[in-house]
């Protein structure tokens, strides 16, 4: 049984027994919605997502890039991975820092690993190196 959450999104392919799932649990979505990229996941169904926006500074007639980071609930049936672009929707407070839930996975962000590596996140640099090594090995074969 899939619940109608009131927003036109792609239905999750599998069923889950997550109480905090808007499709299979008791969680209603309401309020504000955003689209962002997952930058971190933990073992308890929480993901950290971030997105950027431009803010105008009238005095200098320039725009600066600002960033929002949020903790969101990642239901088991969607289970989006780091680097995925997701649509989120506000809910009642799920825990101390979570009051948003992932409702749709929109696919991989292009050049995510490169973007994180450029920011100096060591974890992604290692990954990039590994991938480089792997592609080199493939070329040799």
Interface residues toward Zn ion, by CB under 5 A: 16, 21, 23-24, 75, 77
* Nearer Cβ to Zn ion (39/77): 77
* Nearer Cβ to Zn ion (11/52): 11
* Nearer Cβ to Zn ion (24/73): 24
* Nearer Cβ to Zn ion (19/123): 19
Indicate left, alpha or beta for 74 from its phi (over 0: left) and psi (-120 to 50: alpha): beta
Smallest separation (angstroms) from Zn ion to the CB of 42: 18
Copy the structure tokens of residue 40.
């971190």
Smallest separation (angstroms) from Zn ion to the CB of 75: 5
Q: What contacts 8, CB < 8 A, 6 or more positions away? A: none
Smallest separation (angstroms) from Zn ion to the CB of 129: 36
Smallest separation (angstroms) from Zn ion to the CB of 21: 3
Helix (H, G, I), strand (E, B) or coil at 129: helix
Q: What contacts 54, CB < 8 A, 6 or more positions away? A: 63, 64, 65, 66
Q: Where are the beta strands (DSSP E) in the chain?
A: 29-41, 46-57, 62-73, 84-91, 98-108
* Nearer Cβ to Zn ion (75/83): 75
46-57 vs 29-41, strand pairing mode = antiparallel
Smallest separation (angstroms) from Zn ion to the CB of 96: 22
């Amino acid at each position: 049984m899939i619940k109608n959450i009131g927003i036109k999104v792609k239905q999750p392919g599998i069923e889950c027994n997550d109480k905090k799932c808007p499709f299979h649990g008791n969680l209603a979505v309401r309020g504000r919605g955003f689209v962002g990229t997952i930058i971190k996941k933990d073992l308890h169904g929480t993901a950290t997502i971030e997105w950027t926006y431009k803010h105008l500074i009238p005095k200098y007639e320039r725009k600066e890039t600002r960033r929002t980071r949020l903790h969101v609930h990642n239901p088991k049936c969607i289970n989006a991975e780091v680097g995925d672009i997701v649509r989120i929707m506000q809910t009642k407070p799920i825990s101390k820092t979570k009051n948003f839930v992932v409702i749709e996975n929109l696919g991989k962000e292009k050049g995510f690993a490169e973007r994180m590596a450029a920011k100096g996140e060591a974890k992604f640099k290692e990954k990039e190196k590994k991938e480089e090594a792997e592609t080199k090995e493939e070329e040799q074969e």
